[in-house]
Amino acid sequence: MSQKSNLSIKENFLIAVENYKKNNFLIAENICNKILSIDAHHFESLVLLSNIFAINRNYVKAKDFLIKANKIKANNLSVLNNLGTAFKELGNLKEAVSFFEKVIKMNPDHTNANYNLGIIFFNATEFKKAKNFFSKTVKVQPNYAAAFVMLANVNVELKEHESAVSNYQKAIEINPKLVSAHNNLGLVYRILNDFENAVICYEEAIKLKKDHAGAHHNLAIALKELGKFNESIKSHENAIKYEPDNPSHYYYLSELKIDILVPQLKTKIEKIIQTEKVSKLTLSFGNFLLAKFEQKNKNYEKEFDCLIKAHNYFFDSKKAKFSLGVKYCFEDVIQISNNVKVYGLEKNPKNIIRPIFIIGTPRCGSTLIEKIIGSGPQPVVMGEEIAVLENFINLKILEKRSLDLGTAEEIRNELIDCYKQKGLISEKFDYLFTDKSLNNFFYLDLIKSIFPDAKIVHCKRNLLSSIVSIFQNNLYALPWAHNLDNIFKYFDNYLNIINDFNRKNPSSIYEIQLEELINNPKTESKKLMDFCELKWDKKCLEFYKRKDMISKTASNLQIRKAIYKHQPDKYLPYKKFFDKYKKKYSWFKE
């Protein structure tokens, strides 16, 4: 090609670039195609065309032009990185990872490649790998707000909540208008039971983006947990205003405002879930809502059918994460429960820490029992679903790479520090607190070794009532609670562990039956307080009058009222749905 032709190509390409910058993509595309008809190996035109198609989200064509460009210049970092992006967008993650890794091998500090690998591993629930890549990203580019948000998201998944707060705050310092950072920071504050800051964060997100339905929803949930029901209703209604076709908003509003369950809403929900390309979450909450309609009309078979669909869709919407959660619940935690050890088990007479562990299953009345304990004349700091013990044990096992954790005294001191960080241990309250992490029954032997003088309260409820209540609710944080086989398997493990511990340690656990407490609240609450070595007075049963009461459980509404009797046959219509489990589990005789 003559020098004159080369100059003509350069001039034409510069015109293509100018049009590209002005978003005149079609003109730029036509010029590049003209150049390639003259010089099929014009690298810059191939790259520009790939950019144009990527902007228009046509990643198939973008990939094809990048592959041609890569054959001309095999080690061009931009081309390799963009190929990784194209394959990522096309769902070919193996190829995407391969190209990003090539980039990092050539330039370990490449921001986009590190960030994109972080995204890929985050979506694949490989959170430790994701953390490494996001950490490298913010180290290389410390003003990258989105990377700090993603690093904080990883921290949340790894239960590194203090780090998550720090990283969300860094993102906000860099970009104060980053709505997701404010909203997500609110979620972490809620996990940490810092509701004041959670509400501030949600309100800031809404201030920045008035139509942020997610922030309105999160604010509504926080206000509900604070017992501010009227304000919560308004926030749910705002969420509906901005996302009128999202069934989850109606579902949560219906918990506070049952009169929204009218035929017009049912018709609307049925129409929404029949829409093409509807998400699994939408299908899930749509069916949860329809189940409420069927329950209201006493169509129990239809209700049960809707609940099965709702749980299946909800599980599938989080399948990768929930599958790991189910494995952990039925394999890993059982192995830990059976084999985790501390040594040096002598009593420590100088130990002044006074924990009360409340164990059981969800929907067993544990929230009510904790509020009774915490409302007597002696102040008790309440720790609802804090998971201190489980999180500590898991981190300790990873740190030591062993199920032998260390001496009882060492572990006790470290756990005391964890409880102090949660604000549960204080001289002001005579070192007295509750830990109502229900699945602590997995660690009963460990609790007895570490805190030999601890009080352990086992909350029991009619098994049919517990199981049906779990299935009627969306206990969204519990992977096992979305499948009946898993629910029964969980109960079987729970009963076996409790019974085995009671055989080895008779009279170590105080067992309180919810139905007996409801029928004889004064007598049963006195016996409970006596076991906990706490004074009883009528305030124990006036917990619902407290203005400082917070609850994140499904019992949040019930504990705002005085104890009342349930219909004894409330769950009997569901008995017929569990026949196969009667044959499999001897303990299920309802």
* DSSP collapsed to 3 states, 63-123: HHHHHHHHHHCCCCHHHHHHHHHHHHHCCCHHHHHHHHHHHHHHCCCCHHHHHHHHHHHHH
Closest CA to 567 of 503, 519, 498, 501: 519
Lowest mean pLDDT, pick from 242-246, 344-348, 380-384: 344-348
Partnered with residue 460 across adjacent β-strands are 513
Do 285 and 310 form a contact (C-beta atoms < 8 A)? yes
Do 329 and 361 form a contact (C-beta atoms < 8 A)? no
Distances from the Cα of 560 to the Cαs of 176, 283, 386, 519, in angstroms? Answer: 38, 31, 21, 18
pLDDT cut 70: percent of the chain above it? 97
Q: Note the helical H segments in 243-387.
A: 247-256, 263-273, 280-296, 300-317, 319-327, 333-339, 366-373
Report the distance separating Cα 411 and Cα 343, nearest Å: 10
Label residue 256 by pLDDT band (50, 70, 90): very high
Question: Residue 275 is which amino acid?
Answer: T
Edge-first strand listing for the sheet containing 381-384: 381-384, 432-436, 354-359, 455-460, 509-513
Phi and psi torsions of 551, nearest 5°: -150, 135
Label residue 6 by pLDDT band (50, 70, 90): low
Closest CA to 495 of 527, 532, 458: 458
Which whole number is the average pLDDT over 264-279? 95
pLDDT reading at 4 higher than 50: no
Do 385 and 553 form a contact (C-beta atoms < 8 A)? yes
Could you tell me whether strands 432-436 and 354-359 are parallel, antiparallel, or unpaired per DSSP bridges? parallel
Alpha-carbon Rg for the chain in angstroms: 29
pLDDT at 295: 95
Query: Mean pLDDT of all residues in the chain?
Result: 93
Label residue 1 by pLDDT band (50, 70, 90): very low
| Domains identified in the chain and CATH numbers | 125-244 (1.25.40.10), 252-317 (no CATH), 322-584 (3.40.50.300)
Which whole number is the average pLDDT over 484-511? 96
Which whole number is the average pLDDT over 384-401? 86
Question: Residue 136 is which amino acid?
Answer: K
Per-residue pLDDT tens for 473-497? 999 999 999 999 999 999 999 999 9
Phi and psi torsions of 357, nearest 5°: -90, 125
Lowest mean pLDDT, pick from 334-338, 549-553, 568-572, 579-583: 549-553
Partnered with residue 355 across adjacent β-strands are 433
pLDDT cut 90: percent of the chain above it? 81
Per-residue pLDDT tens for 163-205? 999 999 999 999 999 999 999 999 999 998 899 999 999 999 9
Closest CA to 251 of 223, 217, 297, 227: 217
Label residue 550 by pLDDT band (50, 70, 90): confident
**If you count them, how many residues does the chain have?**
590
pLDDT at 2: 42
Label residue 347 by pLDDT band (50, 70, 90): low
pLDDT at 429: 86
pLDDT at 509: 96
Partnered with residue 342 across adjacent β-strands are 406
Do 256 and 220 form a contact (C-beta atoms < 8 A)? no
Pair of tokens at residue 401: 């790479």
Number of CB atoms found within 10 A of residue 489's CB: 17
What is the residue-wise DSSP string for 433-470?
Answer: EEEE-GGGGGGHHHHHHH-TT-EEEEEE--HHHHHHHH
What is the residue-wise DSSP string for 358-384?
Answer: EE--TTSSHHHHHHHHTTSSS--EEEE
**Distance, C-alpha 294 to centroid of its chain:** 28
Do 434 and 373 form a contact (C-beta atoms < 8 A)? yes
pLDDT reading at 8 higher than 90: no
**Distance, C-alpha 167 to centroid of its chain:** 18
Number of CB atoms found within 10 A of residue 184's CB: 23
CA torsion 171→175→179→183, rounded to 10°?
30
- Residue tagged 């064509």 (tokens): 61
Report the distance separating Cα 174 and Cα 171, nearest Å: 5
Pair of tokens at residue 16: 């293509």
Per-residue pLDDT tens for 29-70? 999 999 999 999 999 999 999 999 999 999 999 999 999 999
pLDDT reading at 569 higher than 90: no
Report the distance separating Cα 190 and Cα 552, nearest Å: 9
User: Coil, strand or helix: which one is 13?
Assistant: helix
The region that residue 243 occupies, defined by phi over 0 for left and psi between -120 and 50 for alpha, beta otherwise, is: beta
Phi and psi torsions of 542, nearest 5°: -110, 30
